[in-house]
Amino acid sequence: MTAQADRPALSLPVHGGWREGDPPGRRQWQVRNRPLVLEAGGELPQLRIAYETWGRPAEDRSNAVLVLHALTGDSHAAGAAGPGHPTPGWWDALIGPGRALDTDRWFVVVPNVVGGCQGTTGPSSSRPDGRRWGSAFPFLTQRDQVAAEVWLADALGVDRWALVVGGSMGGMRALEWAVTHPGRVRRLLLLACPAAATAEQIAWAAVQLQAIRSDPQWYGGDYHDRPGAGPHAGLGLARRLAHITYRSEFELQTRFGRLNQEPEDPWRGGRYQVESYLDHHAAKLARRFDAGSYVVLTEAMNSHDIGRSRGGTAAALRRITADTLVAAVDSDRLYPPAQQAELAAGIPGADRVRLIESPYGHDGFLIETGQVASLVGELVV
């Protein structure tokens, strides 16, 4: 099937991110009117961060918890879908009264990452001169994203987080927080994330980036103000490939096997059910995400190396002073448990990696909320 034939209907917006004039939903914003200097060079002359909060802050902010989302997540970690929020909270089972992150006790803060598309400055945002950033959006690293989150913490009056928790890309940023600012992280929960992106992980990402950049509607990244569908075909191909790495072979085989959508005539025009499953996730992402943000955030994940300019991984991990738990998903083939074992072995006091048992692969850190809740409970008892 060609990319053109697979392109979603032109009725889709050019990108699926939040736009000025859309309902704000539960979002709040902080605006920085001074430059954010970037690790690889250049700067963002100004910055806006969208975030959501649950619970009430203590007077000294000692009950503040930072939750960091994965690649296509956003600030809406809890609550229903509704105006301004196309999907329900991605960790709704963990955040709320009586839940692991009990909002009667904790003040939970969830920012949308810099470079994202759900209210925080990213490629679909306007520059100071009013034009879209598009291809001019600068290269970001995880450290740049954490520097912006540090500024947000300062704006909220949080000197030290009671807990920082994140999985996958969010875990990379949580790790950067604890290494770069050890005195500002009391407890740390790292889920399904590595010390550095490996060659294989960069390779998987490179194919996804090429899929997006090969879309005729990409226009070098400057598509946001052009008529047409936007690079949804390329984004869809990237999502299909990524989603295979997010799930396990066991789950896909058990769930779909060789089942065909047209069992009465599987030879002419039939489609395997697993293909329709991937199509569904591709179309779903096009309705809520921006291809430019996917590129920027994926490149930032590729840059992840906690030991860069710090004397290597072991030296960097020794900087961590937080009470730390590291957890792996036993069926994760994207960030396999050996990578979390490396983290646990190198972080003072972390001792051993905990295993989340799941048939779902990498996405187990999002799905197995009961097991994640138990890990949270160990840290914040």
Catalytic residue list:
168, 332, 362
List CB contacts of 227: < 8 A, sequence separation 6 or more: none
Contact 364, 192 (CB under 8 A): yes
| CA atoms of 40 and 300, how far apart (whole Å) | 11
Q: At 343, is the secondary structure helix, strand, or coil? A: helix
**DSSP secondary structure string for all residues of 168-194:** THHHHHHHHHHHH-GGGBSEEEEES--
**Burial degree of 128 (CB within 10 A; 0-12, 13-18, 19+):** exposed
CB contact set of 99 (below 8 Å; sequence gap of 6+): 93, 373
Residues 6+ apart with CB under 8 A from 127: 45, 133, 136
* Contact call for residues 380 and 162 (beta carbons, < 8 A): yes
Task: Write the DSSP symbol of residue 44.
Answer: E
Beta bridge partners of 189: 165, 325
The kind and range of the H/E element at 65 are strand 64-68
Distances (CA, A) of 322 to 140, 178, 183, 272, 345: 26, 7, 8, 48, 14
**Contact between residue 342 and residue 314 where contact means Cβ atoms under 8 Å apart:** no
